[in-house]
Amino acid sequence: MRQLYLMCGLAFTGKTTLAKAIVERTNAAYISLDEINAERGLWGGAGIPGEEWEKTHQIAMQRMTELMPHARDIVLDDTNNLCELRDRFRVNAGRHGYQTRVIYLDIPLPELRRRMERNETTRERAAVKADIFEELVRDFEPPTEDEDVLRFSAQEPVESWLQAHFPDES
């Protein structure tokens, strides 16, 4: 059955890195809400009004719907921080014969704060304002087991995790 993989986790968990590794391994299609926001001249780490986030989600939903007839798995890269948002994508996927799995990057908060702090020096990725990060932490709704969750933790190497959950088919 075709799969929609919903990346889920706070900022600095490594969602995009893992999402792109899954895409490479499975040849899935890729939709990034950060990329949609960038196309629109917006950056989530600086704070985006709710109505603009809604527009971004609608664009992502439209792209997802356009990809589904082509019978490819899809990786949707976003924080997916609210159950309501994950449910919206899940319902749309179900209408098109897709099963949804949530890939939850469960990284401890102290580690995320260290990564944010290190990023202030390295600038490896765009910064996230501290108040935006704290709002995300406060409002984050971790997925529940009834959401068909694959967990990723910082202790497991990415390649080992990928091999366990996306074994080579050759």
- pLDDT tens sequence for the chain (170 residues): 899 999 999 999 999 999 999 999 999 999 999 999 999 999 777 788 889 999 999 999 999 999 999 879 999 999 999 999 999 999 999 999 999 999 999 999 999 999 999 988 988 888 888 899 999 999 999 999 899 999 999 888 999 999 999 987 65
- The tokens describing 6, both together, are 């919903």
**Is residue 67 a part of any domain in this protein?**
yes
Instruction: Examine residue 169 and state whether it is found in any structural domain, yes or no.
Output: no
Q: What is the CATH number of the domain that holds 108?
A: 3.40.50.300
Work out how many domains the chain is built from and give that number. 1
Does residue 38 form part of some domain?
A: yes
DSSP secondary structure, 100-156, as one string: EEEEEE---HHHHHHHHHHHHHH-SS----HHHHHHHHHH--PPPGGG-EEEE-TTS
Q: Given the DSSP bridges, would you call strands 149-152 and 99-105 parallel, antiparallel or unpaired?
A: parallel
The predicted model scores a pTM of: 0.93
